[in-house]
Amino acid sequence: MVKIRLARRGRKKLAIFDVVVADARSPRDGKFIEKIGTYNPLTVPAAIELKDDRAFHWLMNGAQPSDTIRAVLSYRGILYKRHLQIGVNKGALTQEQADVKLADWMKAKQAKIQSKIDSVVKSKEENARARKEAESKVREARAEAIRKKAEAAAAAPAVEEAPAAEPQA
């Protein structure tokens, strides 16, 4: 049996994965038939580089995806494309209809992905702005404390000098 699965790369706690087509009996990071992409789950959203046509080819030839790869293929629309192609092969719809459905789905998916990226960028900017404002408040409080301390220090020697001058008179 042929499986589409992940092969781990990268150092400790900074994993990046290759998406490979391999015999189910081979070890996780061992021998594989073909490398069809990479997957980096540490970025937001996860970075997926995939040869969609090769993944589709292997799915149509009976390769079984692992759970994570099934989610990745669904996210990329390859499982939906396979579903539509099976419908075309059975005669339920034409190739043109399937292509239109897939294009509409991809357009909606790209809009959703772009909105997610925009929201992440916006939240990063808001967090940076909030941190900057908090830093400026702390800086102003420190400056005020230093100013008060300097005023107190300037007033203290004047008070000490005045009583020392009175007993001599």
Residues 41 and 122 occupy one common structural domain: no
Full domain range(s) for residue 127 = 95-153
- Of 76, 93, 110, the residue that ends a domain is 93
17-32: pLDDT as tens digits: 999 999 999 998 889 9
DSSP state of 66: P
For residue 28, is it within any domain?
Answer: yes
The span from the CA of 7 to the CA of 2, in Å, is 14
Backbone phi, then psi, for 155, in 5-degree steps?
A: -75, -35
Residues 66 and 116 occupy one common structural domain: no
Q: Report pTM.
A: 0.70
Choice between 135 and 45, residue whose per-residue pLDDT is larger: 135
For residue 163, is it within any domain?
Answer: no
88-104: pLDDT as tens digits: 999 999 999 999 999 99
Angle, CA 41 vertex, CA 51 and CA 116 arms, to 5°: 90
Residues 22 and 61 occupy one common structural domain: yes
Domain count of the fold of the chain: 2
CA distances from 137 to 131, 132, 149 (A): 10, 9, 18
For residue 29, is it within any domain?
Answer: yes
- Of 93, 113, 133, the residue that ends a domain is 93
In 3-state terms, the chain is what percent helix, strand and coil (to 5)?
A: 60, 20, 20
Mean pLDDT of the chain: 90
Residues 50 and 126 occupy one common structural domain: no
Residues 78 and 123 occupy one common structural domain: no
For residue 159, is it within any domain?
Answer: no
Residues 89 and 107 occupy one common structural domain: no
Domain harbouring 66, CATH code = 3.30.1320.10
